[in-house]
């Protein structure tokens, strides 16, 4: 049986490969996939793990990733840990933009 996190990550990879997404949307999907709590992690532990993943980016992308986590963590964490975390994915695919950009721009 596939865990919900694995299923979400597989869906993210499929979506990113299926079409060309904006860099902000790709970052958003990456962040959404990482924001899911693993095992008995607390919210703070999950956030730290997600922030540590910024090392996979460089330069401006790394700065954007860290800023996105720090500014909108509650939204990502809430969406990733709800029963059906599809809102970020579907909005990103439909609009080509991270839903958080759409809300806060």
- Domain segments of the chain: what residues? 4-104
The residue ranking higher by pLDDT, 93 or 80, is 80
pLDDT at 56: 93
Phi first, then psi: what are they for 22, rounded to 5°?
A: -65, 155
More confident residue, 44 or 78: 44
More confident of the two residues 85 and 93? 93
Whether the per-residue pLDDT at 90 is higher than 90: the answer is no
Find tokens 């793990």 and name the residue. 49
Which pLDDT value is given to residue 43? 97
What pLDDT digit, counting tens, does each position of 13-58 carry? 555 544 566 777 788 888 888 999 999 999 999 999 999 999 999 9
More confident residue, 100 or 51: 51
Q: What percent of the chain has pLDDT over 70?
A: 67
57 φ/ψ sector (left φ>0, alpha ψ -120 to 50, else beta): beta
Predicted model pTM: 0.69
Tokens of 80: 């990733």
Reported residue count of the chain is: 105
């Amino acid at each position: 049986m596939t865990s919900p996190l694995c299923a979400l990550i597989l869906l993210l990879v499929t979506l990113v490969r299926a079409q060309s997404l904006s860099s902000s949307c790709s970052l958003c999907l990456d962040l959404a996939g990482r924001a899911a709590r693993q095992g008995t992690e607390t919210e703070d532990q999950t956030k730290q793990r997600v922030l540590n993943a910024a090392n996979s980016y460089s330069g401006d992308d790394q700065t954007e990733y860290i800023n996105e986590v720090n500014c909108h963590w509650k939204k990502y964490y809430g969406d990733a840990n709800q029963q059906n975390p599809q809102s970020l994915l579907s909005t990103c695919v439909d609009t080509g933009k991270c839903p958080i950009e759409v809300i806060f721009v």
